[in-house]
Structure 1
Amino acid sequence: MSLDFTSRLHLVSRRVAMLLMAGAAAASFSAAPASAEEPDLSDVTLNVGIFQEVQFLQIALTDHFKDTPYKIEWVRLNGAGGTMQALGAGAIDLSWGLSDVAVPNASALDVAPWTADTAPLKHIALLAPLDAAAYPSHVIVANTASGITALDQVAGHSYTYQEGGNSAAAALLALKSVGLTADDVDITLIPADSIPASVISGAVDVATVQWAQIQEALDDGTVTRLASSYEAGFPGYTSITARTQSIEDPKKSAAIADFLTRATAYSNWRVDHLEAVAQTYVEAQQLNPDQAARAAASAATTIVPLVAGGEGVKIQTELQDALFASGFLAREVDYSQLYDDRFADAIEAGEALGATE
């Protein structure tokens, strides 16, 4: 029997949801009393998914997320697939940094396309890269011993990426850019955290990975750069994605709005303090100063509101068309059904807050 996406997500057991929460590294901030003009959020916990443990160090560099009128639980998850599962199961309320193609892909794979009324998950903001050309989100690399030196040589070779997310989108757009499809390579799917090691060791010939995860191997010649995600036609955005159920809950929605204001101000601060951010990569990932500086710049983003006719919606609409043409999306997607614009003012408030600090 074919199940729709929402039904499949509810089949995730309560035990899996609990393990996702208990097994992830987490930190919380104590809630402060709400003012008389604002709803009392002292009983609200906002569960926020992030992707790298180094983010805990970076968040702690500032006071942006201290003294919130609600509690924040930070949950570290592995890859787009695990994050989508956690969102669907209610283990997290929102993901900060989820692939911007994960929600459209889920809609394309469902029995019926998602609409504004039926979508269980929605984009509530986009994260724009600092400089996608200079610091692309991903790079397509080959193990140097494979002898592959250009994208048009990958036919017949093992080819890996993180399924369902930006890595997969960039990988398939890269193939399309040289007239190839997934049928022309040996797709080998492995856990996201294992992808860098797999191409470094030669277990797979070609991989699409985040630049920061492969820098050292690029520097020492173990792997060869074939193309960047930007060169392959991928703009390099990510998203802040939330559960529709959380968006529609009045108290959770108020907490999300406050979170987005803080996240916007923090993101702008981060762009202006890349040297301090780079030091966290030295401490957490043992990168050398040059590698850490590049990692900090590659991960730097600013928050873009989603409004009809806005630049973010335009970019996403064009991207979905390209992904359908590449074979990444199983069918065409109407992006206007997959975002919620109610938090644009909260993001604007964060921009103003950053300007006064």
Structure 2
Amino acid sequence: MNDEPKPGLAVNRGRRAALALGTAALAAPALVRAAGRPVLHAGDQKGGLRALLESADALKDLPYEIQWTEFPAAAPLAEALNAEAVDSGPIGDAPLIFALAQGVRIKAFAANRSDAYGTAVIVRGDSPIRDAAGLKGRSVATNRGSIGHYVTLRTLAAAGLKPSDVQFRFLTPPDAKLALVSGAVDAWATWEPYTAVAESVDGLRVLSNGRGLWSGLSYIAATDTALRDKRELLADFSQRVQRAQAWANGHMGEYAQVQARIIGIPVPAARLAFERRQTRYVPIDAAVIAEQQKAADFYLQAGLLPKRLDVEGTFTRL
């Protein structure tokens, strides 16, 4: 089914030692301080949260420092959370489930919902594959446990196919895109803003999108340690993000300009990704928890979880 060894979020000994060294220096006192102010070590995916906050001028009068670390996808962000190299970060519902199943000690404290179209299975413009059934016997590149992986599995199931009917190649988004463009794989399963860039810049084609297959839920999660020691910082950060999202929804042009600059993509692609997602923050309520449980149960059925995960305990409210 795939060509990589069994998954595990434990970093290798050398990487863990390096991360542990940085973490140890950051661990005392409980509220890490830079120039006398607390520090929140914020992970980000493709600059999304940072672009959002900066475009909305939502970091004004910040009573603490934010040190950003950018990741190309959820898997390396989850590794950093596991090693406590960052305090928090944005993560989709499927990779959150996958990380928790691997023993990462984190909880989601904020939830948002987006239009699921941009989480998609993409093929080259000249590909002979015209529908999901055409994926049988083909190779698909994505991150293991990502929302792209999840949507691929749901796409296959909807077409009456099994996970074993395709060959998964587990690659980071940049490597997966390169593999697709070069013809090394037949399809690539990814998410925004990679999807928008693929369509508007690279001439790639959406074969299957997440509408009707994926909940559109994503979260901001934090380590148990950060939730214990930096809860007030995380609560303030969450409020700023949610206010910034509301601002951005009404100022798409301005937001797209800042996002494009920070993450290094063309402005039209940034605007397409944002306008299409229509992200809204939502309460962590029974409906959200039920949808998360449904996703976890699907991963169990697909053989990606060793046992059933009860998701209710993986949420917290600040």
Which category describes the TM-score, using the shorter chain as reference length?
0.7 to 0.9
Q: Is the 8 A contact 1:31 1:67 kept in 2?
A: no
How far apart in 1 are the matches of 2:153 and 2:283?
Answer: 27
> What are the superposed Cα offsets for residues 43-83 of structure 1, whole Å, 9 maximum, x if unpaired?
42111111114654442223322222221112112211110
> What are the superposed Cα offsets for residues 266-302 of structure 1, whole Å, 9 maximum, x if unpaired?
111111211211223554545363x443112245522
Q: How do residues 91-170 of structure 1 correspond to structure 2 at under 5 angstroms?
A: 91-95=85-89, 97-110=90-103, 120-129=105-114, 131-132=115-116, 136-170=117-151
Q: Could you tell me which of 58, 62, 74 is aligned with 1:64?
A: 58
TM-score, with normalisation over the residues of structure 2?
0.83
How far did 1:109 drift?
4.2
Q: Could you tell me which of 237, 246, 252 is aligned with 1:274?
A: 252
Larger RCO (CA under 8 A, 6+ residues apart):
2
Map of 1:45 onto structure 2: 39
- Unpaired runs of at least 5, structure 2: 1-7, 24-32
Alignment CA distance shift 1:179-1:90 (3 Å): same
How far did 1:18 drift?
6.7
How far did 1:146 drift?
3.8
How far apart in 2 are the matches of 1:92 and 1:318?
Answer: 28
Q: How do residues 204-219 of structure 1 correspond to structure 2 at under 5 angstroms?
A: 204-215=185-196, 217-219=198-200
Alignment CA distance shift 1:192-1:330 (3 Å): farther
How far did 1:253 drift?
0.8
How far apart in 2 are the matches of 1:186 and 1:180?
Answer: 12
How far apart in 1 are the matches of 2:233 and 2:259?
Answer: 30
Q: Look up the equivalent residue of 2:16 and give its one-letter code.
A: S
Q: Could you tell me which of 10, 15, 19 is aligned with 2:18?
A: 15
Please say if 1:338 is aligned against 2:314.
Answer: yes
Map of 2:84 onto structure 1: 90
Please say if 1:244 is aligned against 2:224.
Answer: yes
Map of 2:288 onto structure 1: 312
Q: Is the 8 A contact 1:173 1:326 kept in 2?
A: no
Map of 2:241 onto structure 1: 263
Alignment CA distance shift 1:98-1:223 (3 Å): same
Q: Is the deviation greater in 323-332 or in 186-195?
A: 323-332
Q: Is the 8 A contact 1:126 1:237 kept in 2?
A: yes
RMSD: 2.9
How far did 1:215 drift?
3.5
Larger radius of gyration, structure 1 or 2? 1
TM-score, with normalisation over the residues of structure 1?
0.75
Map of 2:299 onto structure 1: 323
> What are the superposed Cα offsets for residues 130-168 of structure 1, whole Å, 9 maximum, x if unpaired?
x33xxx241112224441111101111111111122111
- Unpaired runs of at least 5, structure 1: 21-29, 33-41, 111-118, 344-357
Q: Is the 8 A contact 1:161 1:208 kept in 2?
A: yes
Map of 1:350 onto structure 2: none
Q: Secondary structure at the match of 1:204?
A: coil
